[in-house]
Structure 1
Amino acid sequence: DNKYNPQVHKEVYEQIKGNVLALAQTLGSPTTAAILPDLKASNIVAAPASWTSAWAFEDVIIESGANYCIESMNTLDYAVDKYKTKSVMAVHYAGDYGDDAAAGAKIGAEKLGLTFSHLKTDAGADKQAGAIAEIVTKKPDLVILTTGPTETATIVGGAAARGFTGRFIGTSPTWNPGLNASPAAAALAALYEQSAPWNSWTTNSAGHEAMRKALPSVTPNEGYTSGWVWSYPLKAALQKAAANKDLTRAGLLAAVRSLESVDYEGMLPAGAGNFKAGAPGQVKVTAFYKPDKAGATGVAQVKDLTVGPTASAYKLDGPCYSKL
């Protein structure tokens, strides 16, 4: 357990690194950043449980799904098309999770001619008064949230209680099925949607079906979906390294660098996982969901995986959060 603490993450990594070929999962972006120098020095390939755009520029990191920056651009295209959005506010944690999404919203707003503002907020339900006040005062058409579920419920519920009627769209970590039973449930049902880098638990794809078959007795949870998706690049790299008869750390990294695609069994589009191409090979699709108490994971799809024109045209030339 890394306790989502970069120092703890580094300590437990040091305890196991001598016994592993690769890391099947490293949870969080600031935590993974804490071990990144050693991953690179040791040629240890790692699959991140995070979506910062910084990973597009690190060979040892085998990320899956659109990064937060691209996801925000897709959110803006979706909102402009569906809600005729003209102004957007990003409310977000500090750091490369929140800042990456906010930077994507800023870049996208500039391209689309939208009014943009952003506000950093701290974690904790008791620390959202400033965010709620800013939203209610500025009245943006759209608020892009990059927080946790607790803050999402507090912000959406609090803003709605004060008469705010704009839209909220939160990145995937803003949602938890328990929010459907929270005091903010009615406000969330009326005002909130979730953006996501892949489709949910019940989706009809070969990968989703294999996942559900492997987990017949669990309560459906998108953590399982994400964990399953994140495993495909490492599987592909291991198969390639084995075929090359070089299951060393250097051999596995060489296999990663040679991958032009990864078979995600339909959980991501064909062509995803082009690690050979580097940043230009990044997948850019996003899906959108709304709260639904009848849904297996508390949500229902409102738009399938798609890439909007803003993200499609954007050339990733460095981590987005540096442009906020």
Structure 2
Amino acid sequence: MNTGTPHAPRTARAYAARTAAGALAALLVLSGCSSKAEGGTDGAGGRTAAGGVRTGDGVSGKTLTLGALTDMTGVYATLGKSVTQAQQLYVRQLNAEGGVCGYKVALAVRDHGYDPQRAVAAYTELEPEVLGFAQFIGSPFVAAVRQRIDGGDKGLVLPQGWAHSLLGSPYVRVVGSTYDVETINAIDFLVKEKGIGRGDRIGHVYFEGDYGESALEGSRHMARVSGLTVVEQKVKPTDNDMTAQVAALRKAGVKAIVVSAGPRQAASLVGVAAAGGFDVPVIGNNSAFAPQLLATQAAPALARNYYVASPSLPIGADTPQARKLVADYRKAYPKDTLDNGVVAGWTAASVFGEALRRACADKDLTREGVDRALLAMDAYDTGFGVRQDFGDPDAPSSKESVILRPDKAVTGGMKVVREPGASAVAEEYTPGA
């Protein structure tokens, strides 16, 4: 794994630019630095266990512990539940197969409710006790502790967030295309399939903060390349009624809309537009849909005019891995909805699990050993259509996106309308450049 030094200037610029940085930095002061137990075994101080395998933080007795910092009660509660349960299922199956290097894997879960203070506090609590984090929901919260991660903690973090500002760290690794790349691919779909062309205006409704502003970078770049004009509408996660935004975009004469917000905002936007006869295609980032929306009054409008860009095939994909995951998840959680959060959680856990297996083969289950193992994964396929390359910390593991459409007749509520692929503009684009 590359050291943090070559990426320091870029990381500092990205960190300084983040909307939430000031407030969250104050929380870091209050929470203090991560406290390691005396005799901590990070990096070169690792212990040597039976069989000559080096171990360190997060490995104790016969147990290897991973962390999951999730949202079970906040704005992304639906996503957090699905991601966490998928990862718990993965861990149970991994342990049933013998675990890793003779160790049973445990998943320590903390719910931060999408609250910055709780997120930082939960990281501070778990960091000394875990080998790394298979889940961390909330790009701003990951950004808030990134200096600690890069500066000394060095535990691998796989965020459930795709902001391009998270790139550049050898320890924080985005799985799949970042929001800016995903948005470029989404607009490419609008151009090629929905008749959007040079000189047209497109709307972009986006959350303030890392998620929305990362996606906005993608739409601005695609607009420059394609001769489009972006009409921007910034909203907060607490803004659930998109009536004013739809009115503004209609007045501006947009021919299509990108939405980089939550499922509630997307449903409101599409529903309000349809009710007013504003018949334009709307495409969202992967965080802007939940199949539960298909049980609401917005369902007909979503099925007619809404699309979603995703970093992988959906849970209902026709692949052996997808079919097995559906069957296993339904058996484990028969009362819960299948959605793409299940895919995201399973994919991240699978990536971390493969890194653990490779680190075991290298006889180095320290944090740095796991980081090095991930760096060597340059064509990893979890069975959902996209190969992941973790060899370059400055780049997302993929630039491909899948375009989906709501369909309540399909498992998971989403069907594929464009197979995995990266547009020519996305291929040439450098996130954060």
- Decide: shared fold, TM above 0.5: yes
Q: Distance in 2 between matches of 1:75 and 1:106?
A: 13
Q: Indicate yes or no: 2:252 matched with 1:138.
A: yes
Question: Helix, strand or coil: the match of 1:315?
Answer: coil
Q: Distance in 1 between matches of 2:294 and 2:369?
A: 47
Shifted more, 280-289 versus 304-313: the winner is: 280-289
Paired letter, 2:291: P
2:126 aligned to which of 13, 16, 19: 16
Question: Helix, strand or coil: the match of 1:11?
Answer: helix
Q: Distance in 2 between matches of 1:60 and 1:118?
A: 33
How has the CA–CA distance of structure 1 residues 220 and 43 changed in structure 2, closer, same or farther, with 3 Å as cutoff?
A: same
2:144 aligned to which of 12, 25, 34: 34
1:67-82 alignment, distance < 5 Å: 67-82=178-193
How has the CA–CA distance of structure 1 residues 122 and 269 changed in structure 2, closer, same or farther, with 3 Å as cutoff?
A: closer
Q: Deviations over 1:140-186 (max 9, x none)?
A: 11100011111111111112222211110011111111211212222
Identical-pair percentage: 27
CA root-mean-square deviation? 1.8
Question: Helix, strand or coil: the match of 1:65?
Answer: coil
Partner residue, 2:384: 267
Paired letter, 1:269: V
How has the CA–CA distance of structure 1 residues 295 and 213 changed in structure 2, closer, same or farther, with 3 Å as cutoff?
A: closer
Q: CA deviation at 1:207?
A: 3.0
Q: Indicate yes or no: 2:407 matched with 1:297.
A: no
Q: Deviations over 1:218-251 (max 9, x none)?
A: 3422211110111232122212221221111122
Q: Distance in 2 between matches of 1:246 and 1:309?
A: 39
Question: Helix, strand or coil: the match of 1:25?
Answer: strand
Partner residue, 2:346: 228
Q: Deviations over 1:195-225 (max 9, x none)?
A: 1111111212243234234324234222111
Q: Indicate yes or no: 2:370 matched with 1:256.
A: no
Q: Distance in 1 between matches of 2:251 and 2:265?
A: 19
Partner residue, 1:200: 314
Question: Helix, strand or coil: the match of 1:174?
Answer: coil
1:241 aligned to which of 356, 359, 363: 359
Q: Deviations over 1:76-122 (max 9, x none)?
A: 11111111113211110001101111110110111111122211012
| Ranges in structure 2 where 5+ consecutive residues have no aligned partner | 1-110
Q: Indicate yes or no: 2:287 matched with 1:169.
A: no
Q: Indicate yes or no: 2:215 matched with 1:104.
A: no
Q: Deviations over 1:265-300 (max 9, x none)?
A: x32434x2x222333563111111212121222222
Partner residue, 1:282: 397
Work out whether residues 178 and 396 of structure 2, in 8 Å CA contact, stay in contact via their aligned partners in 1: no
Partner residue, 1:2: 112
Shifted more, 213-222 versus 9-18: the winner is: 213-222
Paired letter, 2:148: D
Partner residue, 1:322: none
Q: CA deviation at 1:317?
A: 4.6
Q: Indicate yes or no: 2:295 matched with 1:181.
A: yes
Q: Indicate yes or no: 2:389 matched with 1:307.
A: no
How has the CA–CA distance of structure 1 residues 137 and 8 changed in structure 2, closer, same or farther, with 3 Å as cutoff?
A: same
Q: Distance in 1 between matches of 2:419 and 2:192?
A: 15
Q: Deviations over 1:24-53 (max 9, x none)?
A: 111121122222222222111111111111
2:204 aligned to which of 74, 90, 94: 90
Work out whether residues 315 and 340 of structure 2, in 8 Å CA contact, stay in contact via their aligned partners in 1: yes
Question: Helix, strand or coil: the match of 1:178?
Answer: helix
Paired letter, 1:54: S
| Ranges in structure 1 where 5+ consecutive residues have no aligned partner | 319-324
Work out whether residues 69 and 100 of structure 1, in 8 Å CA contact, stay in contact via their aligned partners in 2: yes
Question: Helix, strand or coil: the match of 2:411?
Answer: coil
Question: Helix, strand or coil: the match of 1:152?
Answer: helix
Q: Distance in 2 between matches of 1:51 and 1:268?
A: 18
Q: Distance in 2 between matches of 1:90 and 1:35?
A: 29
Q: Indicate yes or no: 2:234 matched with 1:120.
A: yes
Partner residue, 1:321: none
How has the CA–CA distance of structure 1 residues 228 and 7 changed in structure 2, closer, same or farther, with 3 Å as cutoff?
A: same
Shifted more, 123-132 versus 189-198: the winner is: 123-132
TM-score (norm 1): 0.91
Work out whether residues 25 and 46 of structure 1, in 8 Å CA contact, stay in contact via their aligned partners in 2: yes
- Runs of 4+ residues over 6 Å off in structure 1: none
Larger radius of gyration: 2
Work out whether residues 208 and 236 of structure 2, in 8 Å CA contact, stay in contact via their aligned partners in 1: yes
Work out whether residues 124 and 150 of structure 1, in 8 Å CA contact, stay in contact via their aligned partners in 2: no
